[in-house]
Structure 1
Amino acid sequence: MPNVRRATRDFMDLVASCLTAARIDALYASKWTCQAVLRSLPPLAKLYVLRLLYLDAAVPDKMLLEWIKGDAVAKHKNAVDRLVQLRVFLPEEKILSRKKETHYRVNPKFQEQLRLALSTGLGTPRDPLPPDIAVRMPSAKELDDYATEKWEAWFSSLVNFASPDGPSASTNGFIVQLFQKADLLTSGQDPKITPAGFQFLLLDRNSQLWRVIREYVQYAEARQIDTGELIRFLLEIGFYSVGEPYSMDSLPNSQRNFAEELAMLGVLQLQKGMKDRWFIPTRLATGLSASLSESSAWQTEGFIMVETNFRVYAYTSSKLHIETLHVFVRTEYVLPNILVGSITKESVNGAFASGISADQIIKFLQQHAHPFVAQKVPSVPETVCDQIRLWESDRVRVQYLPAYCYEGFPSTSVYESVVAHARDRNGLLWEDANRKMIVVGGEHHEAIRAFLQNINKKK
């Protein structure tokens, strides 16, 4: 049977994959972590949690099924799987009327803290400093400008690895290591941007943030940092008020180090007075307790206009925006607040060679469409979209489809039976009788697996 590697899609997937059951339970000692987990759940899973929150007994799965419509069974399974994955639900097997039934109980630690959160109301993990201590507070615009400047400084360094001149000598070593861990840069003494790095540049800021935070957490273990404490701090940050000052001295030493590293990302701003130090959450921090599937509170105004003649006008002075557009746009001239260029076959072929797809280019143009054209449907002319896809199809003449490899058959007779069954279904793609290996099309995988299970039952 093939081995399947499941990639983490959001931060809560990472929590479940990198922490043991005991450490996940330890996270639920904080009401802020419990609220962050609740926010991240699918709507149906949230419904289950809130309905069962004040029930101390385990309930059967068939009872949960009575709460949904018949066509929502798949959503029910996804909701329950996520709750079990995060140990919000603890499954119990019970024998009733000689039948084994699965019951679910809300994790007592999660249950206790979420009840506490609902009964004590909203708030922040720590009280902000009084105005007489934190006197040099930035305005909302200044805080946004600070976050943007820090964020773009990070990713301008990534773009620099793609330039002929290479990165500047002042590139932060920690940033380089983090990019290499994320497979955005190649390893070695002379790192270069990878195809994944080019694709990363075209993601929206919320997706970029989550990618970096995931790698930051995974990199923590290699740096001998308590992953559970880091995750708890990251989830709590989302509950602080943007623009309010909070004392650094009230944080444990390890969390102070986390705050200093997050300030490099623009998630926090650090300030210092005569005696006190404090951190100020930016709008980038508000997304840290939400699911990747939710929209970020951080939204940037669009700046790109694309015409039907393939001309591109980008009203921006951001070096990062300009360098990103260089990846697939032929630049004609750049003024202090505008870039003018055009999309050509040669310019997009360079992007395709770097591993970027036509759909990624189109999505980037749509996500950053200027407000003047963003309300139009489509915001990028169809002729331009179609032509970009046609240019890609000229290069990609091979279509990739999912397939499954079967090996390790217990006997020749079983192998031959499976081969015959796969051939009858027109699903056999390849076979090697000497090594007893076959490859079948992805759409036939479930049927072949069921056929194998029936053979095993007969034995």
Structure 2
Amino acid sequence: MVQPNFSNPRKAQAELSSSSTAALDAFLDTQHQSYYEEIYKSEAACLCILRQLPEICRYIILHFIWSHQPVKSSDLKALLRMDQFSPLSQVANDIQPAIKRKIFQPLELQQGKRGHHTPMNDVFKRGLRNALTGSGTSNSFGLPYPLSPTDEYPSESQLIQFGDRTWESILKYMVSSGLDRGFPVARPETSVLRLLHSSGLMADLSESNGRQQSLDRMTITSQGFQFLLEDRQTQLWQILVFYLTSIESRGISSAPVLSLFFSLGCMQITQSYSLSTFSNPTQLQALDDLQSYGLIYRPATPSGAKADYFFPTHLSTSLCSGNSALSAALNTTEIDTSHGGTGTGVGMGSGEDDKKFLILETNYKIYAYTNNELEIAILNLFMDIKVQYRNLVVGKLDRAHVKAAMEKGISAYQIIAYLQSHAHPQMYSSPPPILHTTIVDQLHLWDKERNRLRTEESEMFEFFSKDLYEDTEAEAKRYDGLLLAVPKDKLLFVNPSVKDAIKDFVKGQQRQLRGM
């Protein structure tokens, strides 16, 4: 058996923290044991959680999944080829991601006669075993729905086109609200607008003036602009986590809905699935809402009612597989644009190569090979568009447009990351880095122009005695609380945290002077 290399497990954990599921990871980190016990009843959830763990944790779990005994620290050290005298903290750090997901318990709490050990969560163990062997009765991987000849059966390309068109219509609505000259877009469902408002991605600025909130007056926020520059997978998980949070804000457990998300992540794109598997009311409501985001397609019956089955789109089937799976799903089919599609562009189902459409020259000129309205609108946030052809947009990075984008909350790092992640393959033919250092440095300089002044809360002390001023200045430095000293005017500005200590010192010095 070939064992993976675990020479640098910390690197794998660092990569996980910056993954597209970072929003989900942060959400799960706040949940209690009972929440995990609920979602681990789903075999699909156990499999998806396993996929999200670092390689070293997956290796350990799969090695001990069939064991009926607690996992000993000595066995872990042997498995990871560690010295038996290695500190316990080193082993604990390697399994920490699994401990956070309540799969293992902390080693320090399970000391027995034969050394430290940790039991594996029984519910998770049973669920993962069922997932690996195809047993179990929860139907968490979906129950196929037998279609009749009269039932609608969309093709894979149609499902991909529906998912992309629906999701991008939401993003277009967001970006259009932040442009001086927007473009005509369809209004998303009311439930979608409510979630965009509660998540802080869009806001009604007139609320601060005492006017009643209106979803039709909402504009994109700085957080929303940052959201637009994220990759597709990160955007999806952020929205889904906002959805889970909105459920919990009503005092309802979100565990059944998260289990539903994991189930969708394990389904096949062209397979029809029955709704009977999901009997929880919050799950049924979530399925209705997910169609508004393009994650599922639920046909209508001839009478106009919604069918008892649905089709997952590529947006949902790739939830637990990362960006590579999303790209693979897009690469397997050619999108038909003859029925209202928007042609080849980023995220439009033409494959990973079409996400690489930007050429940036050292003179700050940008050539964008796309006709996608959303991508053009995003570029318009920080780029001065000069010419627009059918499949080509020519523009330039300039100070005015970049600073306008930064005023809306977009940072230099996000612009740089966006340009790098969408760089045309031609830009990789030059020696690294992809973006010329002159451009990167200039973007950072423009960003720093906004931060020339720094505001800090402070307490001001004014003195008439030079001796008292100098003694107090020395005392403030001793507390490491001195922010600014103005000897000419005998003024001291100190951190509010040391205010009381400085006041007591000044009073003590004044009493001594009076006593003299």
Question: TM class, shorter-chain normalised?
Answer: 0.7 to 0.9
Instruction: Kindly indicate whether the alpha-carbon contact (under 8 Å) linking 2:362 and 2:436 is maintained by their aligned counterparts in 1.
Output: yes
Alpha-carbon deviation of 1:200?
A: 1.2
2:173 and 2:186 in contact (8 A); partners too: no
Q: Paired residue for 2:508?
A: none
The answer to whether structure 1 residue 148 and structure 2 residue 164 are counterparts is: yes
Contact 1:314 1:338 in 2 (8 A): yes
Separation of aligned partners in 2, 1:73 and 1:159: 51
1:374 positional shift:
5.1
Letter in 1 for 2:441: D
Q: What aligned pairs does 1:264-279 form with structure 2 within 5 A after superposition? A: 264-274=292-302, 276-279=307-310
Tell me which amino acid in the other structure corresponds to 1:160: S
Q: Which residue of 2 aligns with 1:197?
A: 224
Aligned to 1:86: 101
By how many angstroms is 1:168 displaced? 7.1
Superposed, 1:5-404 pairs within 5 Å as 9-17=22-30, 19-61=31-73, 63-68=75-80, 69=82, 76-91=91-106, 93-94=109-110, 102-120=116-134, 125-130=141-146, 132-133=148-149, 136-164=152-180, 170-186=187-203, 188=207, 189=213, 190-223=217-250, 225-252=252-279, 253-274=281-302, 276-290=307-321, 294-299=322-327, 300=347, 301-302=354-355, 303-373=357-427, 376=430, 377-397=432-452
Specify whether residues 349 and 432 from structure 1 end up closer, same or farther in structure 2 by C-alpha distance, changes over 3 A only. Answer: closer
Structure 2: gaps (5+ residues): 1-16, 208-212, 328-346, 348-353, 456-476, 482-493, 503-516
Give aligned pairs, total.
Answer: 403
Distance 2:90 2:453 in 1: 34
Distance 1:43 1:208, change over 3 A: same
- Give the CA deviation at 1:39: 1.0
SS of the counterpart of 1:356? coil
Residues of 2 paired with 1:75 and 1:357: CA distance?
Answer: 37
Mapped to 1, the partners of 2:140 and 2:427 lie a distance apart of: 39
Q: SS at 1:295's partner residue?
A: helix
Q: Secondary structure at the match of 1:179?
A: helix
TM-score in terms of structure 2 length = 0.68
The code of the aligned residue for 2:238 comes to R
Deviations 1:236-277 (A, max 9, x none): 111101122222355325433212211111111122345954
* Range 207-216 or range 177-186, more displaced: 177-186
User: In the TM superposition, what is the alpha-carbon distance from 1:214 to its structure 2 partner?
Assistant: 0.9
Question: Which structure has the highest strand share of the two?
Answer: 1
Return 326-335 or 229-238, whichever deviates more. 326-335
Q: Counterpart of 1:279 in 2: which secondary structure?
A: strand
Who is 1:452 aligned against?
none
Structure 1 421/330 Cα, relative in aligned 2: closer, same or farther at 3 Å? closer
- Equivalent position amino acid for 2:56 in 1: L
Q: How well do the aligned residues superpose, as a CA RMSD in angstroms?
A: 3.6
The alpha carbon displacement at 1:10 in A equals 3.6
Greater Cα offset, 256-265 or 73-82: 73-82
CA 156–357 in structure 1, closer or farther in 2 if over 3 Å, else same: same
> 8 Å contact 2:163–2:315 — kept in the other structure?
yes
Q: Percent identity?
A: 26
Gaps of 5+ in 1: 1-5, 401-418, 424-428, 438-459
Residues 16, 24 of structure 1: 8 Å contact kept: no
Q: Matched residues in 2 for 1:395 and 1:35: separation?
A: 46
1:191–1:40 Cα change, 3 Å = same
Q: What is the one-letter code of the residue matched to 1:207? A: T
Q: Secondary structure at the match of 1:331?
A: strand
- Supply the distance in 2 between the matched residues of 1:61 and 1:296 (Cα, whole angstroms): 35
- Structure 1: which amino acid aligns with 2:130? L
Give the deviation of 1:46 after TM superposition. Answer: 1.3
2:111–2:117 CA contact under 8 A, matched in 1: no
Change (3 A) 1:273 1:374: farther
- 1:271 counterpart SS class: coil
CA separation of 1:169 and 1:142: change in aligned 2, threshold 3 A: closer
Instruction: Give the 3 Å change call, closer, same or farther, for CA 39–220 of structure 1 in structure 2.
Output: same
Distance 1:223 1:89, change over 3 A: same
8 Å contact from structure 1 (residues 313, 340) kept in 2? yes
Q: How many Å apart are 1:208 and its aligned residue? A: 0.9
Distance 2:251 2:261 in 1: 17
The amino acid across from 2:195 in the alignment is: L
In 2: Cα distance, 1:287 partner to 1:361 partner: 26
The one-letter amino acid paired with 1:126 is G
TM-score by length of 1: 0.76
Q: Structure 1 155/225 Cα, relative in aligned 2: closer, same or farther at 3 Å? A: farther
CA distance in 2, matches of 1:169, 1:206: 23
Q: Tell me by how many angstroms 1:156 deviates.
A: 1.2
Deviations 1:163-199 (A, max 9, x none): 3468979453322221222222235334332221111
Distance 1:378 1:72 in 2: 40
Instruction: Give, in whole Å, the separation in 2 of the partners of 1:265 and 1:277.
Output: 19
Distance in 2 (alpha carbons) for counterparts of 1:27 and 1:86: 11
For residue 413 of structure 1, what is the aligned residue in structure 2?
A: none
